[in-house]
Amino acid sequence: MKLDGKTIRWNRNQTIRKCLSILCMIISLLLLTACSQREQVKQVIKQFGPRDAMNRDRADGWDIFYEDTPASASPAEVPPGMVFKIGNDAEVFNGGTTPTFTTTEAYSVTELWTYHWNGGKGAPEGGTLSLESSDGMTYGPWQVEVKNNVYWIAKPNMVLPAGSYSVIDSEPGTLAKNKESNEQGHAWMYGTVSK
């Protein structure tokens, strides 16, 4: 090829390398953007709970996936501030069995959540939540605040001794469950290790 009397050589390999380099740079930028969005999503999940975060992000036009924490997880395996979590984002049905969990340390409990999907109707009238230890001691009941018609949130603000507990929900008929949660009602609790 001649341009103004000079021969210009086209080096196919060099062009391919440059194109690949640009493509790698674009992919890297996309990955960095996705990672920063994932951190933002984690903050939303921490603040609002997993199902609310999923709905929020679907409305924004992109789906997220989060990792569920089994109820038997040790405190080192759960996200900061979360004591236990029974739940996931699979399809749910009514009538979850009583959620149970065990802690090896005492916790200052700030929030106890349950999830009442109830075919999309939720359970907006609310009710009470309480905790019953394996030795029969009952903590609560606490009146709940209802969020988005489906989340029941109790704010115990108390120290819960180490032990095994059942979450007692005043409306177990609408408590969400599925096979992924072993038919247990979806529930989770926030707090910090009590010193």
| Residue-range domain boundaries for the chain | 12-59, 75-193
The per-residue pLDDT string of the chain (195 residues; one tens digit each, 9 = 90 and over) reads 555 555 555 566 677 777 777 776 777 667 666 655 555 545 544 444 444 444 333 333 333 333 344 444 444 444 558 999 999 989 999 999 999 999 999 999 999 999 999 988 999 999 999 999 999 999 999 999 999 999 999 999 999 999 999 999 999 999 999 999 999 999 999 999 987
**Global pTM value:** 0.60
For 117, the token pair is: 């999907």
d(CA 75, CA 83): 6
Q: Up-side HSE of residue 105: CA atoms within 13 Å toward CB?
A: 14
pLDDT of residue 53: 41
Which three-class secondary structure state does DSSP give residue 165?
strand
**How far apart (Å, rounded) are the C-alpha atoms in residues 65 and 53?**
10
CATH classification code of 75-193: 2.60.120
CA distances from 81 to 30, 56, 156, 192 (A): 30, 22, 15, 6
The tally of CA atoms less than 13 A away on the side-chain side of residue 195 is 0
The torsion angle over the Cα atoms of residues 100, 103, 106 and 108, rounded to 10 degrees, is -50
CB contact at 8 A, 72 and 99 = no
Compute the radius of gyration of the chain from its Cα atoms.
25
Instruction: State whether the Cα torsion 185-191-193-195 is positive or negative.
Output: negative
Q: What whole-number distance in Å separates Cα of residue 85 and Cα of residue 83?
A: 7
> How far, in whole angstroms, is CA 138 from its chain's centroid?
27
